[in-house]
Structure 1
Amino acid sequence: MIVYGKNVFETLKDSPDQILDLYIQNGSKDRRIEKILSTLPKNIRLKTVSKKEMDKMTEQGVHQGIAARVKDLPMLSLEELIEKAEQNESQTGRLPLLIALDEIQDPHNVGAILRSADAAGADGVILCKHKGAGLTPAAVKTSAGAAYSMPVASVSSLAQALKKLKDYGYWVAGSDFDQTSVDYRKGLYDRKLVLVIGNEGKGMSKSVKDACDFKVHIPMRGQVQSLNASVAAGVLMYEIQASRDKKA
C-alpha cells in the first residue's frame, strides 16, 4: 500500500519497520521532510521521483512531496478488539467505547473518523469487509497518522458483530434521525458502548438498526438537515466522553 503526506510520517517514525520503500519528490526536501528523514533508519530504501511519478503513485493525492510503500495495516478480529478494550478499561478505569462504521463509502470520512476516535479516546473502530471504504491510502492520509495508532477490526457482518458485542455486555447506540431516536445529549452513555455511524446517504442498514439498543440524533438548527458522517461521529464521540466525565 502507498501512503503519503507529512502527518503520516510523523506517526510512521515510531514504526519504521512498516516502511518498505520511501519516495521523495525532486526538489521537495524542506525542513520538515529533512527532520522526518533524520528519524528513520538508514537502511530504508530511498528513491527520488518526479512530480509526475509522485502524482501517479498517490493517485493525485495531496502528497506534500513524500510517500512510502508500506506493509498492509494489521486488522484485528472482533475478539482481539474486545480484548484490547477490556485491557484499556482495567488500566484506565474508563468505560469502553467502540465505533462501528456501517457501509461508510468515502475513504476521507473513514480517515476523519479514525482521527476523531483517536482524539476522543475511543478504544477501536470496526469496519465491515467488502462493504464501504477500507483503510485506503486516502483514508490513511486523512487520519493524520491515527490509522497506525487506533485499533481497527474487520468483520464480515456488522449486525452479527453487534450481537456478539452485546454478549460481552456492550450496548449499541446508533446515529439516526427518526421518530424513536433521542437528542444526543440524552443518550445512555454510562455503560460499555458501541456507537454506530451509518452510510452517508441511506444511514444504517435495517439489520444494524434493529441491533441498536437506542438511537440518537443531533438537532439541526439551520436550513441544512444533516451533518457530514465524520463530523457527526466526532460530535457524538465527544458528547459520550463528556457525559461520562461528568459522572466520574
Structure 2
Amino acid sequence: MAGNSQRRGAMRKPGTKKGAVTGSGGQRRKALEGKGPTPRAEDRPYHPAHRRAEMAKRSEAKRVQRSKAAAAAPETIAGRNPVVECLRAGVPATALHIATGIDADDRVAEAVSLATDRGISVLEVSRTELDRITQGAMHQGIGLQVPPFDYAHPDDLLAAAQESGRAPLLVALDGVTDPRNLGAVIRSAAAFGADGVVVPQRRSAGLTAVAWRTSAGTAARLPVAKATNLTRTLKDWAKQGLMIVGLDADGSMTVDELELATGPLVVVVGSEGRGLSRLVRESCDATVSIPMASEVESLNASVATGVVLAEVARRRRAS
C-alpha cells in the first residue's frame, strides 16, 4: 500500500519536517542545468582581453579611415620636367602651383601655357606653401595637383585589349610596393606596346604623385586596373586563352626562349625582394628568367619588366 514502504527515506521520520531523502523528485533538475560554454575572454566586458580587443578594433577603424582619406586626397606632381611631361600627356589636373619669385625658364612657361589652354587654375604660392603641398619633394618651384587616380576593372582591361585587333599583352605586378617601380613599369609597358597594367588591391603601390612622376605622364594613356584578388584574376584570364608567364630567377626558360611572346600573354612581375608569391607562381603557365652575369643577383622589378617586354615586342615585330 502506498506510504507503507519500509525503504530508507521513503517514510518521513517522526518528529521531523523534512521530506523524503531518497531522490529529489525532479526539484533539482533546473538547478543542475548548465549555463552554456564559458564566453571567450574577448567577449567578457570586464576582462582585460576585451578592452584590448576593443582598442584593436578602434585602431583598425582609424587606419581604414585614414587610408580612405589618403586615397581620396589629391596628389601633387613636383618638378619642372615631370609637370611639363604630364601636361603634354593630358594628365587630368586641377591646379598648377607656381612658387613666388622663381626663375622661370622655357619649361615653366610651357607648363603655364598648357595649363591655361586646358582651363587648369594657375596659382602663385610661397615656396614654403609649395613645400607643404608637395610634402617636401624636390619641386623646383612648380607642382601640378591631380585628382585621385581612376583605376579600371581587370575585365574592362582585357576587353579593351581583345578589341585592339592584336594579341593582348598585359602586365601584372605582384607585391611591388615602390611607387617609382610602378611608374617605371607603366612607362615601359606603354613603350613596348602593352595594353595595360594590373596591380593587386592590397600590398601594392598605387598611382601616387611619385608614380605619376616616374611614369612621365604615360599613366594617362595606358589603363591601370586594380584587382581585388590577383590570383583569381590571373586564373580568369587563363580561362579566356591568355598564357600567364611569371618572371622568376629560377625560371623554366630564359627570356631568349620565350616562344609564347607572339600569342595572348600576361607578364607577371614579383617584388625584387621575395619575387612571386606562391599562389601567383602556381597560377603561371611558365616562368622565365633573364640571363645575367654571375656577379649580379637580381634586377630591379621595373628593369626586369622592360627587358622582357622588349623581347616580346621584338618577337612580335618579327612574326
2:116 and 2:122 in contact (8 A); partners too:
no
SS at match of 1:40: helix
Task: Look up the match of 1:182.
Answer: 253
Q: Where does 1:105-184 land on structure 2 (aligned, <5 Å)?
A: 105-178=177-250, 180-184=251-255
Shift of residue 110, structure 1, vs aligned partner: 0.5
Name the structure with the higher strand share.
1
1:14–1:113 distance in 2 versus 1, CA, 3 Å? closer
Which residue in 1 is equivalent to 2:99? 25
Q: Is the 8 A contact 2:84 2:107 kept in 1?
A: no
Distance in 1 separating the partners of 2:181 and 2:154 = 22
Q: Distance in 1 between matches of 2:89 and 2:288?
A: 38
| Structure 1 segment 222-237 matched on structure 2, within 5 A | 222-237=294-309
Letter in 2 for 1:4: A
The alignment partner of 2:94 has SS state of strand
In the aligned structure 1, how far is the partner of 2:128 from the partner of 2:252? 50
Matching residue of 2:76: 2
Q: 1:41-60 deviations in whole A, cap 9, x for unaligned?
A: 36432222233322332223
TM-score, length-normalised on structure 2? Answer: 0.71
Q: Which residue does 1:56 correspond to in 2?
A: 132
What residue in structure 2 maps to residue 211 of structure 1?
283
Work out the CA distance in 1 between the residues paired with 2:88 and 2:300. Answer: 32
Q: Does the 8 Å CA contact 2:181/2:301 hold for their aligned counterparts? A: yes
Change (3 A) 1:239 1:83: same
Take 1:14 and 1:200, find their aligned partners in 2: how far apart are those partners? 29
CA shift for structure 1 position 24: 0.8
In structure 2, what is the Cα distance between the partners aligned to 1:14 and 1:232? 25
Counterpart contact for 1:8–1:140, Cα < 8 Å: no
Q: In 2, are the aligned partners of 1:13 and 1:40 still within 8 Å (CA)?
A: no
Q: Contact 2:186–2:218 (CA<8 Å) still a contact in 1?
A: yes
Gaps of 5+ in 1: none
Give the AA of the match of 2:176: I
Q: Structure 1 vs Structure 2: percent identity of aligned residues?
A: 38
Query: SS at 2:262's partner residue?
Result: coil
Select the residue among 34, 58, 75 that pairs with 2:151.
75
Within 2, Cα distance between the matches of 1:28 and 1:59?
21
Provide the rounded CA distance (Å) in 2 between the counterparts of 1:167 and 1:8. 41
Q: How many residues align?
A: 241
The letter of the residue matching 2:112 is: L
Q: Secondary structure at the match of 1:194?
A: strand
Task: Give distance in 1, aligned partners of 2:317 and 2:144.
Answer: 40
1:121 shift after superposition: 1.0
Deviation at 1:13, TM superposition (A): 4.5
Q: How far did 1:130 drift?
A: 2.0
CA separation in 2, counterparts of 1:157 and 1:237? 24
- Taking structure 1 as reference, are residues 234 and 210 closer, same or farther at Cα in structure 2, changes over 3 Å only? same
Higher radius of gyration, 1 or 2: 2
Give 1:210's aligned amino acid: E
What whole-Å deviation, never above 9, does each CA across 1:129-155 have from its counterpart, x for those lacking one?
122111111111111111111110001
TM-score after normalising by structure 1: 0.91
Compare 26-35 and 235-244 and name the one that shifted more: 26-35
